[in-house]
Amino acid sequence: MSSQQYDVIIAGGGPAGTTAATLLAQYGHSVLLIERDQHPRFHIGESMLPMSESVMKRLGIDWAQGSLKKGGAEFIDEVSGRRTYFPFQGEYRTFQVERSVFDKRLFDNALAHGVVGYQQEQVGSVQCTPNEVQVKTDKDLYQGRYFIDATGRNALMGKAFDSIEKINNLGKFALYKHYKLANSLESEALFGHGNIKVLLSEIGWIWCIPLTNGRLSVGLVVQKNVPENLKQDALFERYIQVSPYMSELLQEAEVLSELGIEADFSYQNSQRYGQRFACCGDAAGFLDPVFSSGFFFAVKTAEFVADQLHQGLTQGTEADPELQQAGDEFYQKGFKTMHCLIERFYCSNLVENLFFESDRQLQIKQEIVALLAGDLWREGNSFQQGLLTGRSRKN
């Protein structure tokens, strides 16, 4: 049994866990970070939002290095031929990253800041008592003053408390693959502007995310009922082939990965904090991939948790079950906004009325771009206020 004591023990070495770990180590606290896998490990979720940049700066990560600049987000309805483009410019700058490489960088960066990191070790159970936390892994037992659950969709604490609440009506499941594109004018254009393309499909939508070195991430998010006789591989191929853009782009492309599958990904954890623990990233909740908000919420929630916890550890109030309340309330405003936007994407005519509206006011377009950038806590966004109060605006 380990006799080591830490201020903070974190389960999960993805974006949320490594962000919380690095920030807490920067504050001078002792941190143990435990990761089940070994980096580099594959992870889906390559398209970033601009408002993660401030967190990357705090971590000392230059996210431009080794990444593809993302010009913006394009939404295309191939049936009607309507399309719209939301550019990220000026203060809004972001990238597409290969997560195996990027997550390893985040993990190594945490170690370089003095975090003690173990890989290939799985946290099994956590006990939070008034005086300490005890974390049991498949290899050891550790004691600390505070526990952070950053185990992603594995949601260790959410499962232990049975507090995971499914969100219905968003994407049902996603199928995805990586490709290496053959040279063509279209692939040159795609890697040149670096946009994420969202192609509206009969049964949901398709993402097309250019990465570095000619690598392309393609995913099909299914929202409607699908023909039952189609197995996952055939389903993916069929709907990719139905898209004129994708079928042309993928001509002579080399397949680089097996078909990946994620199902039931929309949920929220109703118990995100308590005595001596907090959850961040996907362990706190995940909405839907359509506006690429997962990584952003992962690092932002980790930032909120780390900043609140630093105060608690410094003042000796870390056992207060309400320690994370203020940060969590703040985070909820952003999460709710994104939830409303995604719900409107799937369940209303938001796309028809606003995204593809040619005479849409410039101000509304800018307000939508701000939300798509993750700029969710700025005052004065009337489109956001309308979303949150349930008013629908068409122009």
- Which residues here bind ligand FAD, judged by CB under 6 A? 11-17, 34-37, 43-48, 122-123, 150-154, 156, 174, 219, 262, 265, 281-283, 286, 289, 292, 294-296, 298
Nearer to ligand FAD, 196 or 253 (CB): 196
Closest CB 395 distance from ligand FAD, rounded Å: 30
Closest CB 47 distance from ligand FAD, rounded Å: 4
Closest CB 358 distance from ligand FAD, rounded Å: 27
**What is the C-alpha separation between 338 and 49, in angstroms, rounded?**
12
**What is the C-alpha separation between 97 and 364, in angstroms, rounded?**
29
The radius of gyration computed from the CA coordinates of the chain, to the nearest angstrom, equals 21
Nearer to ligand FAD, 262 or 307 (CB): 262
Question: 118 forms bridges with which residues in the sheet?
Answer: 34
Cα–Cα nearest to 293, from 265, 262, 257, 335: 335
What token pair was written down for 2? 């380990």
Nearer to ligand FAD, 29 or 36 (CB): 36
Closest CB 124 distance from ligand FAD, rounded Å: 7
Nearer to ligand FAD, 138 or 320 (CB): 138
**What is the C-alpha separation between 232 and 102, in angstroms, rounded?**
28
Residue that is written with structure tokens 């985070």 in the block? 331
Q: 36 with 157: CB under 8 angstroms?
A: no
Closest CB 150 distance from ligand FAD, rounded Å: 5
Specify the amino acid at residue 139: K
Q: How far is CA 27 from CA 23, 55, 137, 144, 320, in A?
A: 6, 15, 26, 17, 20
**What is the C-alpha separation between 272 and 285, in angstroms, rounded?**
9
Closest CB 216 distance from ligand FAD, rounded Å: 13
Q: 4 with 288: CB under 8 angstroms?
A: no
DSSP 278-319: EE-GGGTEE--GGGT-HHHHHHHHHHHHHHHHHHHHHHT-TT
Nearer to ligand FAD, 12 or 204 (CB): 12
Handedness of CA 50, 54, 59, 60 (dihedral sign): positive
Closest CB 388 distance from ligand FAD, rounded Å: 22
Nearer to ligand FAD, 35 or 328 (CB): 35
Nearer to ligand FAD, 33 or 351 (CB): 33
